[in-house]
Amino acid sequence: MSLASGDLISIRGNQLVSGSGEPLRLRGFCLGGWMCMENFITGFPATESLMRQAVGRAAGTDRAEFFFERLLDQFFGPADAQFLADSGVNAIRIPISYRHFEDDMNPRVLRADGLARLDKAVAASAECGIYSIIDLHAVPGWQNQHWHSDNETHRPLFWRFKDFQDRVIWLWELLADHYKDNPWVAGYNLLNEPADETRAAVGPFYQRLHDAIRAVDRRHLLFVDGNTYATEFDIFSQPWDQTIYTCHDYAQAGLEREGEYPGVTLGRHYDKAIVEAKFLQRSEYARSLGLPLYVGEFGPIYTGNAARDEQLYRLLDDQLAIYRDYEVSWSAWTYKDIGLQGLVFVDPASPYGQAVAPITERKNSLAVDHWGADFDRIADILKPLLDVVLGFEDFDPYPWGAEDWVHTVVPHLLFAQPMVGLYAQIFEGLGEAELAALADSFALANCAVRQPLRDRVLAEAAFDQAGGT
């Protein structure tokens, strides 16, 4: 398929429209764990940066680089794009880390290999009729408190240092100039899940970034996450042209290993009405402006237990029905992983699946991955510490309170970071053929398909193709 440079997606009232003027609902997945790696997606503990350093020490710099480049090649390519198109997907959201585009020791100097890799993904998707949304997921100094911004601490230093912010503006000016005439780029997701505790820096920074991009590219859509992990939009004084205010819509009932849906999870009842009310709260700002709605991330964490997962698919059905009712575009988290959420996932019997299994079990035993962790497994450790922290009655840390703060600092930092070396031991002494076999485990041909999830995406595509009836 080909489009002319003038055929960009745009906003008309409360709808997205294609370059030819037809109403358009974006449906797809995020490419989580690819150009911004995450621990639960590929199996390492802690953060991508710490993991890469440890693997480099264990395997040697050259062989580590060989593995990572091959892994990226196998994780997403033309076959994946075709599979997504055949699954009813018409858009992908591509999380990227700034580290693919510049080096901390050589800032504001473009890494051409990172841009070339992103170009290949955009081109492969375009060949299959799939739009790309470029999502800046990790920035210098970290824009939020958690692992998915590659944060080695629990402090978002991005908001405290202007130089970090200036580097992001430099990067977006470069990306916007590069893609300004590409009609298969739906738009730019400026900053994934910002979390500015002061609520004083994020608004002015967004304005600076908006103005810098618009000086280069006035036509592409901007996808703007609200503060506090895409949940708060009071930082905006008036809407910008060609801008979608993006919420993330994870349902609490879908994030727990145990519970009932519909029914009680963590002592609270959840059903479709509750899920809808939370979505309406999260999307209130965009709806109040009469703008198109877009959910940048959502989706349950699957357990492998058939009965529990059937309940999670029921929750997913309710969310998709809500999105149909409100004509919401969406991208589910995530396309490919080692088994928690992916539309496709690494075969446990593959070389990588077998190699990483002892690591993931050890991680699970200490709940070191914040996403999908069973904190009850380490309650004997956490409860005494939490009791001490809760004793400071005026301590209510941003963003999610004292319990989440302890869950972040203890398992995700104190336990996870020493465990990185265990993961790196997988690569010790391996030659290129063995490293290639590990990386090739992520090739689509070697992965399993989560068919119940794919069936639901196909049904959504059929619904839209039938005119939403």
Q: Give the residue-averaged pLDDT of 19-36.
A: 96
- 452: CB partners within 8 A, 6+ apart: 309, 313
Catalytic residue among 38, 48, 102, 193: 193
Collect all residues with Cβ–Cβ distance below 8 Å to 165 and sequence separation of at least 6: 158, 205, 208
Catalytic status, residue 22: no
Q: Which of the residues 102, 232, 297, 460 is marked catalytic?
A: 297
Measured CA distances, 371 to 315, 324, 333, 341, 446 (Å): 18, 27, 12, 10, 25
Q: How many CA atoms lie less than 13 Å away from 76 in the CB half-sphere? A: 29
For residue 299, the one-letter residue type is: G
Q: What are the pLDDT digits (tens) for 57-116?
A: 999 999 999 999 999 999 999 999 999 999 999 999 999 999 999 999 999 999 999 999
* Predicted TM-score (pTM) of this structure: 0.97
Has residue 4 got a pLDDT over 80?
no
Does residue 5 register a pLDDT over 90?
no
193: annotated active-site residue: yes
Is there a contact between 282 and 231 (Cβ–Cβ < 8 Å)?
yes
The answer to whether the CB of 385 falls within 8 A of the CB of 406 is yes
Instruction: Using the predicted structure, report yes or no on whether residue 6 has a pLDDT greater than 90.
Output: no
pLDDT in tens, 314-336: 999 999 999 999 999 999 999 99
Which pLDDT belongs to residue 238?
84
Contacts of 343-346 with CB under 8 Å at 24 or more apart are 343/29, 343/87, 343/449, 343/450, 343/453, 343/454, 343/457, 344/83, 344/444, 344/447, 344/448, 344/449, 344/450, 345/447, 345/448, 345/450, 346/441, 346/442, 346/446, 346/447, 346/448
* Contact by Cβ (8 Å): 402, 386: yes
Q: How confident is the model at residue 436 (pLDDT cuts 50, 70, 90)?
A: very high
pLDDT value, residue 237: 85
**How buried is residue 115: exposed, middle or buried, by Cβ count under 10 Å (0-12/13-18/19+)?**
middle
Q: Contact, 220 vs 188, CB < 8 A?
A: yes
Q: What's the CA gap between 61 and 45, in Å, rounded?
A: 20
Distance between CA atoms of residues 301 and 53, nearest Å: 29
Measure CA of the first residue to CA of the last residue in the chain; give whole Å: 27
Over the stretch 209-227, which tens digit does the pLDDT of each residue have? 999 999 999 999 999 999 9
Measured distance CA(128)–CA(92) in Å, rounded: 12
Domains of the chain, earliest start first: 14-34+76-347+441-465 (3.20.20.80)
DSSP class of residue 415?
I
pLDDT tens digits, one per residue of 236-286: 988 999 999 999 999 999 999 899 999 999 999 999 999 999 999 999 999
Q: Hunting for tokens 């193709």 — which residue is that?
A: 465
Residue 260's region, left for phi above 0, alpha for psi from -120 to 50, else beta, is beta
What tens digit of pLDDT does each residue of 174-195 get?
999 999 999 999 999 999 999 9
